[in-house]
Structure 1
Amino acid sequence: MAPPPPPPPAPQAGRLYFLDIGISTPELNGRILTCKPDGSDFHELITQINMLPDGIAIDMLHRHIYWTNMGIPSANDGSIQRCDLSGKNIVTIVPRGKTHTPKQLIIAPLSRKLYWSDREGMKLMRANMDGSDLEVLYRASTVDSDKRNQDNWCVGISVDEESNSIFWSQKGPSKGNKGRIFRMGLEMVPGESAERRTDVQCIVDNLPEPIDLEFDSVSGTLYWTDRGDPPFGNTVNSVTLADLAIGKVQPKILVRKLHEGIGLALDRKGSRMFFGDLGGSLYISNLDGSCKSTLLPDIGGAITGMAYIEG
């Protein structure tokens, strides 16, 4: 008989911040929510966000919450906003229309830059923490009609400044098994453009529908959620870049039975991860997927982006 899986790590100080996209009510009511790592002290910070919030990142240096608003895709009115950790003092740092449909958002800690994927914009973008110096780093297509081709839709993003790498997902059609995860350098090769980069590498393909990403630079492991159909979708997955180096990349399914899994956050010190789904549940497990449990069975909405802050 196989030994039982190790118990979850002992609770540690820290805090989760996550988004309700707001599609569970007749009128859009997006929210920023927070709780302790055990699901306690759950409460709302901001309500009545009517622009479909999707990605979230926390800047503990200045005690700010950043989030993306997808807006109405046909209107090209996506934006990025910021507030204090208390939910007060909301400001818009990337105005509507400066990014099309922003999705997952991360903060690169060394360069102090915001990075995000832009879905219908078919691109990866970055900016300073105040929204200035807006850049397009990668563009899957410049043809306007290609916005309807979901193969071009950039969704998840993660950055590893140590290896000078950006990872991102292009999800493909819903449940279409055409999803891909790519990698490229943080900086453009001199003489190249966002539309024509020679350092773009597809590291995983034929995925059901990959969404948000997280990278652990210590173990060299890339994690992602997939909201495609079972048996390979509605999962949390991982791949090690050591396998990529020897040409043996084989995604490993860590967790199954999500209900449209999207948000993902790692607690690297605690060797655990948190993830959520559009069904409105918040979960925790060890990094290897063992000891999965439900922290919040129903937040009364649909969870998208997620961020964890160590205590």
Structure 2
Amino acid sequence: MNTDGSDRKTIVSDCHLPDGIVVDAAAGYIYWTNMGIPSLNDGSVERADIDGKNRKTIVALGSTHSPKQIILDKKSGKLYWCDREGMRVMRCNIDGSKLETLIETGRGEADSRDATRWCVGLAIDPKHQKIYWSQKGPDNAGLGRISRANVEIPAGQTATTRTDIEIFYDALPEPIDLELDHKNRVLYWTDRGDPPRGNTVNRASIDNRPAEPEIVVTHLMEGIGIALDIPHDRMFVTDFAGSIFSARLDGSSERNVLEAQGNLTGIAYAEV
């Protein structure tokens, strides 16, 4: 749809609980994750043309457990995503080949019941080759965190043993999707926990991290997806109550673009 909510159309249907989405406008593709049913380990990643045609599964059912936010690093030709109950940060080539696990926070059914291990949203800082990701934590437990590490696993280490992981913020309500303003070096994220710190959009400098993140949008109903349009000083946010909001990057001029659309998750902004 247009950014004012007009010209809205369905381009792909019959997805298996779709969640994250990213657009490669130059190549004319959209990519999205299908969470599947978490208890069945049947997540997947699909690709289609921007108009929804030529749909293709590029990461087969079960090769990823319950994939969430997905991002594209065009320079390296890689797709990255978080796998929630799989407790992993994963990547592959844009055609689905060379599937890898970069970070693994747990393994097995017992670990998967521990929501502090659930990886949900992610962003990449290409300048310093760092990857940021969120771990949701239990509902409203204040145990959510955002961590960062090098994109590449250190030599001689594995996705489970790597020692370069550092916590960016912890004791968060329930951090979900991340977006990085590369120009201004600021990380934005949604939080679906309870107020006052949850149901919000937050931001913080990644080079000069403040003691507490700045809350720029409040009163969401379980915020999930976020997309930034830096040149036009605006963001777009979805929540689980079915609304799409737009606002300036400082949270001002907030307006509801759509409402009552069902459980909304991922969102992407693209000029096509």
Whether TM-score is above 0.5 comes out as yes
**What amino acid does structure 1 have at the position aligned with 2:178?**
L
> Alpha-carbon deviation of 1:143?
4.3
Question: Aligned partner of 1:292: which letter?
Answer: E
Provide the residue aligned with 2:234 in structure 1: 272
Question: TM-score, normalised on structure 2?
Answer: 0.97
**Is 1:58 aligned to residue 23 of structure 2?**
yes
Task: Provide the rounded CA distance (Å) in 2 between the counterparts of 1:176 and 1:150.
Answer: 10
Equivalent residue in structure 1 for 2:247, among 269, 276, 285: 285
Show the counterpart of 2:85.
Answer: 120
Tell me the distance in 1 between the aligned counterparts of 2:32 and 2:267: 10
What SS does the corresponding residue of 1:172 show, helix, strand or coil? coil
- Name the aligned partner's letter for residue 215 of structure 2: I
CA separation in 1, counterparts of 2:108 and 2:258? 42
Q: Which has the higher contact order (CA 8 A, sep 6+)?
A: 1
Measured after TM superposition, the shift of residue 250 of structure 1 is: 1.4
Aligned residues: 272
2:4 counterpart residue number: 38
CA deviations on 1:227-264 (whole Å, 9 max, x unpaired) are 000111000000112322xxx43111100011111010
Match of 1:252 among 208, 214, 218: 214
Which of 254, 257, 263 pairs up with 1:302? 263
In the TM superposition, what whole-angstrom CA distance separates every residue of 1:13-53 from its partner, at most 9, and x where no partner exists? xxxxxxxxxxxxxxxxxxxxxx111211111112222x111
1:170 aligns with 2:135: yes
Amino acid at match of 1:308: Y
Letter in structure 1 aligned against 2:8: F
RMSD in angstroms over aligned alpha carbons? 1.1
Q: Contact 1:59/1:65 (CA < 8 Å) preserved in 2? A: yes
- TM-score by length of structure 1 reads 0.85
Task: Give matches, 1:8-87, under 5 Å.
Answer: 35-49=1-15, 51-87=16-52
SS at match of 1:304: coil
> What amino acid does structure 1 have at the position aligned with 2:14?
Q
Q: Which residue of 2 aligns with 1:32?
A: none
State the match for 1:185 in structure 2: 150
Q: Distance in 2 between matches of 1:232 and 1:97?
A: 35
In the TM superposition, 1:231-250 aligns within 5 A as 231-244=196-209, 248-250=210-212
Please state how far the C-alpha of 1:298 moved relative to its aligned partner: 2.6
Match of residue 20 from structure 1: none
Residue 138 of structure 1: which of 80, 103, 108 is its match?
103
- 37-46 or 282-291: bigger deviation: 37-46
Give ranges in structure 2 of 5+ residues lacking alignment: none
Q: Which runs of 5+ in 1 are unaligned?
A: 1-34
* Aligned twin of 1:218: 183
Deviation beyond 2 Å, 4+ runs, structure 1:
none
- Given that 2:25 and 2:271 are in contact with CA atoms closer than 8 Å, whether structure 1 keeps it comes out as no
Q: Is the 8 A contact 1:243 1:249 kept in 2?
A: no
3-state DSSP class of the match of 2:131? strand
Q: Which has the larger radius of gyration?
A: 1
d(CA) in 2 for partners of 1:258 and 1:282? 10
